[in-house]
Amino acid sequence: MKARLVDPLLRRCGIHPQHFWVLCRLFGELSDRHEMFGQLGRDRATLKAASLIYFLMMGLFGFLFAMSKPPVMAYFGMFTVLTGFLMLMVLLSETSNSLVNAVEGLVLAHQPINGATYTAAKLTHLARIVLWLGTGLNAIPAFFGLLTRGAAWFYPLLHLLTTYVLGFVIALGCCAVFGWLLRFVHPSRLRAVAQVAEVVPVLLFALNPVLRKPLAAVNWSALLPESEPARVIATGVASLLALGSLSFGIRSLSGDYLVRLSTIMRGGSGRKKERRRNSFLAGMTARWTRGGPPARAAYDYLARMMWRDSHFRRQMIPVIPMVFGMALPALQNWHISPFDSGFSPYHLIPHVFGTILFFLSTYLHYGGDFKAVWVFSIVPAVVFERFALGILGMVWTTWVLIPHLALTAILVFIWPLHNALLFCAYSLSFATAYLALMLRRVEGVPFSTQPVTSSNAFLMPLMLLGGLTMAAIVWLQHLVIFRSPPLVLGATVALAGAAVYLMPRTGRALAESMRFQLSTLAAESGKIYQEIEA
């Protein structure tokens, strides 16, 4: 009955109803078989768990906010903006992941399925995300809104209805954005452009302190017509243009999408030439780690895969604006030294590196080419300890050492020489200790496991706990350690000693996890054969 009611609407949109329902069942079956873990809307257990986490967190926030008795419009506006921002980040990422990483589309490309039918079935999981996350974000705050000043008895219904409408409008807008990209961007470059589109909301949020003053200085009312009829006409024209852009973008998802999908999947990071490996850094890493050729191979492997793997880039690119937002106070107050009596934003610098390494260790295990892990099964087991040293050396050289050398070259011209060198040594030691702890979270060969949405759904509690721990350390640095240069020197020596002690043990633990993963895969592959007795 439900299909009969929806089928006429599907036909009006150029969607073949029978093919649409068959594809929906196919994608549901693939999700049940754990073959589509990279999409939040199809991993029901993870989606429910994430919604529950938001349900508890936003319920507590809504209660505290409502107890302050704010005006109902301020309460409503706060949750509308917060819901819209979170929905935009999730839905934009999910839309991009569905359209530019559609592996199953390569199998279906030769079938008589039009692009509108395939994309409509592929994006049905966005509706599930809107319903679950919208409920988790606003179910409790909608009822606590009755405690605000001026709230009517029907406020919870209005609050939830606005949430769902806003979520579906954002979902349609995300589809329209990628429809425009499909229309005007070459398929081979679509992956790179899509990853840039994903990071735009986070980048605007990170730049909010910088953009706030220039935007506030603009007289927006002067840009509008003075007469009331002219304002109505301008509003109507702007609404028609927005609806036209939305309609054009969504309609662009049809057509020859499946024909172009092969080129989209082969598209890389957008570079015209293959990235050359840095032989000097690879050789230096192999020498100081004493890992030899396996360490050099690990350096080249990570250096290439970090640029090539689309899943890793898609997860790490949004981290850049967030880290930039953490480091922005230090850039704005560059002259304030951590050795001064007042608080210096430079106290955050070591923990900025710790945040980067946390996300790096979270996403390093997953990759889009995880089925190629069998290549490592032919490598002798004794090699993996030196291979793990190469991984540690590559991450330390690229993500810790080189940035600290650049930071030292800048600070020596701003602060006294001894202060700049001591602070950079302290930060380098702290970041190295972070590295030794964080890489223990990598459970297996890098880029060798199927991407799963659960890797993102439960990051919020870890981030909150890590943020509280870092805040306590920053407070300790400001009030105790940086009050005296000898104390800073002693802390630097202690951190350096801890890093030297932990790094080899982290390498051995990483090698052991890689061997365990490969042995598990070998045992599972042996189960497909069964001996037949005569």
* pLDDT (0 to 100) of residue 496: 92
Global pTM exceeds 0.85 = no
What is the reported pLDDT for 270?
Answer: 45
Nearest Cα residue to 130 out of 78, 80, 181, 165: 165
Q: Counting runs of H as helices and runs of E as strands, what totals does the chain give?
A: 23, 0
Mean pLDDT value across residues 155-166: 90
Percent of the chain with pLDDT over 90: 9
Query: Is pLDDT at 34 greater than 90 in this prediction?
Result: no
Query: Widest CA span of the chain, in angstroms?
Result: 95
pLDDT at position 272 is 44
Mean pLDDT on 3-7: 65
Please name the residues in contact with 133: beta carbons below 8 A apart, sequence gap of 6 or more. Answer: 47, 50, 51, 54, 86, 87, 90, 167
Is 278's pLDDT higher than 70? Answer: no
Residue 434, pLDDT score: 92
**Lowest mean pLDDT across 88-92, 233-237, 438-442:** 233-237
The residue ranking higher by pLDDT, 451 or 158, is 158
Report how far residue 189's alpha carbon sits from residue 268's, in angstroms, rounded to the nearest whole number. Answer: 7
User: Are 194 and 92 a contacting pair, CB within 8 Å?
Assistant: no
Categorize the per-residue pLDDT at 493 as very low, low, confident or very high, splitting at 50, 70 and 90.
Answer: very high
Residue 85 pLDDT: 84
Query: Which of 212-216, 354-358, 494-498 is the most confident on average?
Result: 494-498
pLDDT at residue 531 tops 60: no
Length of the chain: 534
And the tokens for 70? 């704010």
What secondary structure does DSSP assign to 107-139, as a single string?
HHTTSS--HHHHHHHHTTHHHHHHHHHHHHHHH
Least confident window among 228-237, 269-278, 376-385, 511-520: 269-278
pLDDT in tens, 309-365: 877 877 787 777 777 766 666 666 667 778 877 778 888 888 888 888 988 888 888
**Quick check: 500 pLDDT over 70?**
yes
The predicted pLDDT at position 275 comes to: 46
428 has pLDDT over 60:
yes
Q: Calculate the average pLDDT of the chain.
A: 78
Q: Does 79 have pLDDT greater than 80? A: yes
Q: How confident is the model at residue 2 (pLDDT cuts 50, 70, 90)?
A: low
List, in sequence order, the alpha helices (H) in 252-318. 257-266, 279-288, 292-308, 310-316
Catalogue the long-range contacts made by 103-106 (C-beta closer than 8 Å, 24 or more residues apart).
103/265, 104/26, 104/27, 104/30, 104/36, 105/258, 105/261, 105/265, 106/261, 106/262, 106/265
Alpha-helical runs (H) found in 397-484: 402-411, 417-438, 454-457, 459-479
The pLDDT score that the predictor gives to residue 33 is: 61
* Average confidence (pLDDT) over 485-496: 90
**One-letter identity of residue 82:** L
What the block records as the tokens of 355 is: 């945040």
Sequence-ordered alpha helix ranges (H) in 219-276: 228-251, 257-266
What pLDDT is stored for residue 460 in this prediction? 61
Whether the per-residue pLDDT at 454 is higher than 60: the answer is no
C-beta of residue 17 within 8 angstroms of C-beta of residue 3: yes
